[in-house]
Amino acid sequence: MDNFVKCFDHEVKQNNDTPEAIIAIQILIQYIEQSNVGTLQQLIEELQDLSSHLKIAAGSSTTSVVSGCDLFVRFITLVRNQHSEIWESKKFEPVRKFLLDRGNQFMNRLKMSRTKIARLAYPFITDGVTVLTVSSSRVVQSILSKAHDKMKKFHVLVTISEPEKKGAMMVKSLKDKGIHATLILDSSIGFVMERVDFILVGAKGVVENGGLINCVGTYPVAVMAKAFNKPFYVASESFKFYRNFPLSQLDLPNDSKYLDSDEKNHPTVDFTPPDLINKLFTDLGVLTPSAVSDELIKLYI
């Protein structure tokens, strides 16, 4: 088990561009290949155990790792009623093979998710717009680069997102691609809001009612956007759909909120309610917040 966690840490450090959840799912697939369990139930239990370890190792991306692993396990075990010859054979090998097939199917779909989202979302960026984004998100970057590749001229404002200052990294990578980007303070969003055309943010997790879990500072931006009547868009892969239903900021689990699960520290994420979100760009399509529940129900119930 520990080997796998170490492997996960190593992979995350090496591949900055791949989402942590995808790396975690890859680790889970490797585990299925190498495990020597005899029954499906045992395998599911061990996978869940491994997921909880990976979650702790994931740091700030806990929600996406948790949701990704959960969805993965759900997806590979979902079609139990078909292919009955596999389930009746009393040997585990055909079952394992089946699960690996499904797992690889899932993985391939996931790897394409970012390109799919970019393809769906870039038409929303027209010539001459000013886009506001919060902190650093790879999905948003891929959308912006796609729009840039299609020869659109636009301006991006990125909030610096204290204390980790991840916004600075985002600005640097955008400038490297040739996109016109400016770094602004978190506190100056009120100042810039009148010039902004729409807000596009990434997500750490999307909850059941369509609400958003993202870096702390996203919620105030959403509230301001509502006050100024600016559209607020979220770009998120579908594996970040999380089966939680927070009613307030306090309902988020502690380990996703605070570093070291210590309440004395400042929170790292906040929760944006669904009525402040206009659209979600996902690999399942452009959705409204109420459709997130629909998608989750299809998979879980």
- The one segment of 68-76, 204-212, 214-222, 263-271 that binds another protein by CB under 8 A: 204-212
Examine residue 290 and tell whether it contacts another protein (CB under 8 A): yes
Examine residue 151 and tell whether it contacts another protein (CB under 8 A): no
The correct pick among 120, 136, 274, 280 for binding another protein (CB under 8 A) is 274
Residue 21 or 207 with smaller CB distance to another protein? 207
Residue 95 or 292 with smaller CB distance to another protein? 292
Name which of 135, 134, 131 is nearest 144 in CA terms: 131
**Axis-axis angle for helices 62-76, 40-58 (nearest 10):** 170
Count CB neighbours of 104 within 10 A. Answer: 12
Helix (H, G, I), strand (E, B) or coil at 131: strand
Examine residue 228 and tell whether it contacts another protein (CB under 8 A): no
User: Among positive and negative, which fits the CA dihedral 41, 47, 53, 59?
Assistant: negative
Omega within 30 of 0 (cis) for the link into 253: no
The correct pick among 93, 176, 248, 264 for binding another protein (CB under 8 A) is 248
Examine residue 245 and tell whether it contacts another protein (CB under 8 A): yes
Helix (H, G, I), strand (E, B) or coil at 11: helix
| CA angle, residues 232, 210, 24, in degrees to nearest 5 | 105
Examine residue 208 and tell whether it contacts another protein (CB under 8 A): yes
- The one segment of 85-93, 120-128, 160-168, 289-297 that binds another protein by CB under 8 A: 289-297
Examine residue 149 and tell whether it contacts another protein (CB under 8 A): no
Interaction site with another protein (CB under 8 A): 208-210, 245, 247-248, 274-275, 290, 293-294, 297, 300-301
